[in-house]
């Protein structure tokens, strides 16, 4: 399919696509939409930024609009399950944009906000409901919603669902679903656990796959800077003073780390905002709205919160902390170079993070070029050296009874592990990085902030 007109969608949908400036489907849309329109179950492997939302939104709107069936109270005709509040909101916004000339009810429900208003809205039912698993079960348990009349089910970002521990809620939902339904299942990766979950939801599915997760965006210029943890904040502020960096997404591995980065940038006079799970829904929406509008050019996010960020025009992605899961790196840098544009992705790598860097390069099968530190930026050699063998203890020195830190050679005012990357609970479960830090020689190239070029648009 080379044009949306080839799908023979309902006239209101074609009108909405024309209003949005969308004419040519992306690969996942071209492959998935015909099968979805035919009513087949579908297993789609596609990462963020490939246009998969439209791949299921357009056929759902077409089928519901064409059927003429009227929704019933406390029910929904199509259900889209999303792992995060931000992503759920983005999906609902996409449905509203594509269906703005249709008379279909579109609603979104998630936790973090009072459930009472959601119960009232669902009293009349919804044609299309986007929900997070936890809040969906809350509404079902309170008899505010029934899935008995469900026609179409979508499970989006299935791999992230499992990462966030939603396997138990999903298993609770499965028996509530009517046996006669269409199911669409999307995931960026397909390990055995995801494949098993897909088997529980799908019946004789068609499989479509685009842009394997190991493939980094072709239009993204990548680079890595080696820097100690203690110098990362200063390095970030130095880079962000470059006016060529118009809209940047900074990734932190932890929520606490994201807040620390924002506080430091504010002290440096650089306006920024953080978005993560500890922020209220109102705070997250304000931060994302300011970033989207351009009034805040720096958004610091964790991997989980970033799943709902769908913003065009991100010129740079900075991996302040390298992710401990290599696939997350691919998801991160995919936030730039969207809709035909180009982008730049930089990574800060400390000695302790070198194993993560090797995992990323092994996954992508490409070495990440080393960037020289910005001109004038200096790092004391003593603070950033390769690990060496422990020095022999030639003479035992008396210990200070008041000192509780008995690490040899550690400054009295230092904190244990202060030069190690902070790790969230999920990382601790997986185990920390291996301590080996040997890496092959790399050629360095001078850092350049670079720019961003835009091209044509395709449906997100």
- In the predicted structure, residue 198 carries a pLDDT above the cut 60: yes
Closest by Cα among 45, 11, 18, 29 to 327: 45
pLDDT at 452: 41
Asked if residue 426 has pLDDT above 90, the reply is no
CATH placement of domain 214-375: 3.40.50.300
Q: What tokens appear for 153 in the block?
A: 């089910």
* Assigned token pair, 57: 């939104």
Please check the confidence at residue 30 and state whether its pLDDT lies above 60. yes
Contacts of residue 212, defined as CB under 8 A and 6 or more positions apart, other chains included, come to 45
For strands 370-371 and 248-251, give the pairing.
unpaired
CA distance 393 to 386: 20
Closest by Cα among 317, 322, 305, 386 to 360:
322
Its pTM stands at 0.61
pLDDT at res. 230: 94
CA-CA distance, 282 to 112, in Å (whole number)?
A: 9
User: Which structure tokens are listed for 451?
Assistant: 């720019």
Query: Among 42-56, 59-73, 100-114, 236-250, whose mean pLDDT is lowest?
Result: 42-56
What pLDDT score was predicted for residue 460? 55
CA torsion sign for 111, 113, 117, 121 is negative
Q: In the structure encoding, which two tokens stand for residue 414, read together?
A: 């230092």
- CATH topology classification for 4-209: Rossmann fold (3.40.50)
Residue ranges, CATH 3.40.50.300, the chain: 4-209, 214-375
Neighbours of 366 (CB within 10 A): 13
Q: In 3D, which of 24, 92, 48 has the Cα closest to residue 457?
A: 24
User: Is 153 a residue whose pLDDT tops 80?
Assistant: yes
Please name every residue paired with 45 in a beta bridge, in sequence order, or none if there are none: 187, 209
Which stretch of DSSP H or E encloses residue 332? Answer: helix 326-333
Residue 419 banded pLDDT, cuts 50, 70, 90: very low
Region for 365 from its dihedrals, namely left if φ exceeds 0, alpha if ψ lies in -120 to 50, beta otherwise: left
How far does the chain reach from its first CA to its final CA, in angstroms? 17
Q: Say what the pLDDT of residue 36 is.
A: 97
> What pLDDT, on a 0 to 100 scale, did the predictor assign at position 339?
65
| Helix, strand and coil percent figures for the chain, each rounded to 5 | 35, 15, 50
The CA distance from 201 to 194, in Å, is 11
- Mind listing the pLDDT tens digit for each residue in 132-142? 999 999 999 99
Q: Are strands 42-45 and 182-187 parallel, antiparallel or unpaired?
A: parallel
User: Average pLDDT, stretch 69-85?
Assistant: 94
Please report the sign of the dihedral spanned by the C-alpha atoms of residue 356, residue 362, residue 364, residue 367. positive
Give the distance from CA 121 to its chain's centroid: 29
Judge whether residue 237 has pLDDT over 60.
yes
C-alpha 274: how far from its chain's center? 14
pLDDT recorded at residue 177: 96
Contact 260, 276 (CB under 8 A): no
């Amino acid at each position: 399919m080379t044009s949306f007109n080839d799908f023979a969608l309902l006239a209101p949908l074609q009108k909405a696509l024309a209003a949005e400036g969308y004419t040519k489907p992306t690969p996942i849309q071209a492959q998935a939409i015909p099968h979805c329109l035919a009513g087949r179950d579908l297993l789609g492997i596609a990462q963020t930024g490939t246009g998969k939302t439209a791949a299921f939104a357009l056929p759902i709107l077409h089928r519901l609009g064409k059927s003429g069936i009227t929704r019933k109270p406390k029910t929904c005709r199509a259900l889209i399950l999303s792992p995060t509040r931000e992503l759920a909101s983005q999906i609902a916004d996409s449905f509203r944009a594509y269906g703005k000339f249709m008379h279909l009810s579109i609603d979104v429900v998630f936790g973090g906000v009072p459930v009472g208003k959601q119960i009232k809205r669902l009293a009349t039912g919804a044609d299309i409901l986007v929900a997070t698993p936890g809040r969906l079960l809350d509404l079902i348990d309170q008899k505010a919603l029934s899935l008995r009349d469900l026609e179409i089910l979508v499970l989006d970002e299935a791999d992230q669902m499992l990462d966030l521990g939603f396997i138990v809620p999903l298993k609770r939902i499965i028996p509530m679903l009517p046996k006669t339904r269409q199911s669409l299942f999307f995931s960026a990766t397909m390990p055995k656990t995801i494949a098993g979950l897909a088997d529980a939801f799908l019946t004789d599915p068609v499989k479509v796959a685009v842009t394997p997760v190991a493939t980094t965006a072709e239009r993204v210029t990548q680079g890595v800077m080696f820097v100690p943890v203690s110098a990362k904040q200063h390095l970030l502020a130095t880079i962000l003073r470059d006016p060529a960096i118009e809209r940047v997404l900074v990734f932190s591995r932890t929520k606490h780390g994201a807040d620390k980065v924002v506080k430091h940038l504010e002290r440096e006079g650089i306006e920024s905002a953080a978005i993560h799970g500890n922020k209220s829904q109102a705070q997250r929406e304000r931060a994302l709205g300011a970033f989207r509008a351009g009034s805040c050019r720096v958004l610091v996010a964790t991997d989980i919160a970033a799943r709902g960020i769908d913003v065009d025009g991100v010129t740079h992605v900075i991996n302040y902390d390298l992710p401990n899961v290599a696939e997350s790196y691919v998801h991160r840098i995919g936030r730039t170079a969207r809709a035909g544009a180009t982008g730049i992705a930089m990574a800060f790598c400390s000695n302790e993070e070198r194993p993560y860097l090797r995992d990323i390069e092994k996954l992508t099968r490409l070495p990440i070029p080393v960037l020289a530190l910005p001109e004038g930026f200096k790092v004391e050699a003593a603070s950033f050296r390769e690990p060496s063998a422990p020095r022999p203890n030639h003479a035992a020195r008396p210990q200070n009874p008041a000192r509780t830190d008995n690490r040899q050679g550690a400054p009295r005012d230092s904190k244990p592990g202060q030069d190690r990357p902070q790790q969230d609970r999920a990382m601790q479960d997986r185990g920390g990085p291996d301590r080996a830090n040997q890496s092959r020689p790399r050629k360095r190239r001078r850092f350049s902030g670079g720019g961003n070029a835009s091209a044509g648009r395709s449906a997100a």
